[in-house]
Amino acid sequence: MTDRNQELFDRAKALIPGGVNSPVRAFKAVGGTPRFVQRAQGAYFWDANGQKYIDYIGSWGPMILGHGHPAVLEAVQKAALEGFSFGAPTEREVELAEEIIKLVPSIDMVRLVSSGTEAGMSAIRLARGATGRKKIIKFEGCYHGHADALLVKAGSGLATFGAATSAGVPPEVVQHTLVLEYNNVEQIEAAFAEHGADVACLIIEPIAGNMNFVRASVPFMKRCRELCTEHGALFAFDEVMTGFRVALGCAQSVYAKLIPGFEPDMTIMGKVIGGGMPLAAFGAKRAVMEQLAPLGAVYQAGTLSGNPIATACGLATLKEIQKPGFFEALSATTRSLVDGLTAAAKAEGVPFCGDSQGGMFGVFLFDELPQNYAKVMTTENARFNKLFHGLLDRGVYIAPALYEAGFVSSAHTAQDIADTVAAAKEVFKTL
Ligand SMILES: *Cc1c(COP(=O)(O)O)cnc(C)c1O
């Protein structure tokens, strides 16, 4: 049989760098041939060979209802008939802003954009404009899109400014970005002691999904909040992945339950709010958001921002996830997957643990949950790759890299979870 995935990959490689339009799709970390998706429905997709997979990527988060949800499909089809893009305001942009502000109390005003990268980049500019300060603090292992100032890894030693992780980013562009270890209270205290008066914002993934799945500890989150308040820096939550994915009120609602009165100052969103269409947003309190053009001096714009089809898709998705019991059911399904995998691994003597919140999860080939990027990256590559390919061969598609989170949708059934655990059990026997 000819391998259509391989044929398409060969064709793609001649035309598109690496054969893909976003690097992780290339299977570079795990080896082998990327699956070219032909179609998807519910919790499944089919590749170019017609092979079916249970999908635990869900477009890296957006597909919280699974693929082709009838209500979302209907909204998108109706919107398409009314026009693709106008470059003038539409009613649905107002409706989506109302929904976001209703669900996330820390946001008074919001601006819609087309990608998480754009939202993160614009939020940083706004934070700098609103505070009149230059420096930003981020954490190792957190991803906030591919804007120049954010492609930075920790420098040598504590509280030194970072080094670019990409060619094409001059050192001058990252000289104001400080990179610290996630969940390290001492480092954040030292950084604010030295640079506090110059820090425009502290940006964090509250539950980091770009180093597999690592929660910010409560004492760490509390200290970040206190230090930002004390030094007049804006505390920016990058909820592009966690927003409307881990809870209806986003990750900030999870921390508000653990830390009374907790709120971030800025929120960056994407993925689920577009329901699979290019849509993202950033929001904050009114006084900060009013610094943005056309009201204020911080420039930001977009030809396709608030696109009418994307807003229709996002609104229909947000409507579904507000139905009573939605997150309870999704959380239970996700937890049953993590628990099932953990039990299966333990039964085969494989070190394993996992964690989840709402419809987002992470699993590790460790006995204990890691607390930062350095620990996550001590995962034995060869073992993870064996797990990945073993599952793939058995029709289960997890992220093709050990530092990515996983996603469960409301379309995943108890049978899907049982099939996944059974497949994993076979693979664990070989590890
Ligand atoms: C996916 C992601 C981004 C970038 O969003 P894009 O739409 O891919 O540009 C930013 N931050 C976080 C936390 C993400 O998971």
Provide the CATH topology of domain 70-321.
Answer: Aspartate Aminotransferase; domain 2 (3.40.640)
- In the chain, where does the domain assigned CATH 3.90.1150.10 lie? 4-68+324-428
Q: How confident is the model at residue 162 (pLDDT cuts 50, 70, 90)?
A: confident
Please give the number of the atom of ligand 1 that sits closest to the Cα of 242.
13
Instruction: Spell out which residues line ligand 1, taking CB within 6 angstroms.
Output: 115-117, 120, 143-145, 205, 209-210, 238, 240-241, 270, 280
Distance 240 CA to ligand 1 centre (A): 5
Look up the pTM and report it.
Answer: 0.97
Contact status, residue 279 vs residue 114, Cβ threshold 8 Å = yes
Please give the number of the atom of ligand 1 that sits closest to the Cα of 22.
8
What average pLDDT does range 163-170 have in this prediction?
92
pLDDT per residue as tens digits for the range 13-43: 999 999 999 999 999 999 999 999 999 999 9
52 an active-site residue?
Answer: no
Residue the block writes with tokens 């190792």: 140
Q: How far apart are CA 377 and CA 389, in angstroms?
A: 19
Q: How far apart are CA 252 and CA 239, in angstroms?
A: 9
Tally the residues of the chain: 431
pLDDT at 163: 87
Active-site residue, from 238, 265, 355, 416: 238
Residues above pLDDT 70, as percent of the chain: 99
pLDDT per residue as tens digits for the range 220-229: 999 999 999 9
Give the contacts of 382 (CB within 8 A, at least 6 positions apart): none
Mutate which of 113, 151, 205, 210 to test ligand 1's pocket (most atoms within 8 Å of Cβ)?
A: 210
4-68+324-428, superfamily in CATH? Aspartate Aminotransferase, domain 1 (3.90.1150.10)
pLDDT at 159 exceeding the cut of 70: no
What average pLDDT does range 344-359 have in this prediction?
98
pLDDT at 156: 59
What average pLDDT does range 308-317 have in this prediction?
98
Q: What is the DSSP string of 207-261?
A: EE-SSSSEEPPHHHHHHHHHHHHHHT-EEEEEETTTBTTTBTTHHHHHHHHHSTT
143 an active-site residue?
Answer: yes
Residue the block writes with tokens 């562009």: 173
Q: How confident is the model at residue 160 (pLDDT cuts 50, 70, 90)?
A: low
- In the chain, where does the domain assigned CATH 3.40.640.10 lie? 70-321
108 an active-site residue?
Answer: no
pLDDT per residue as tens digits for the range 103-132: 999 999 999 999 999 999 999 999 999 999
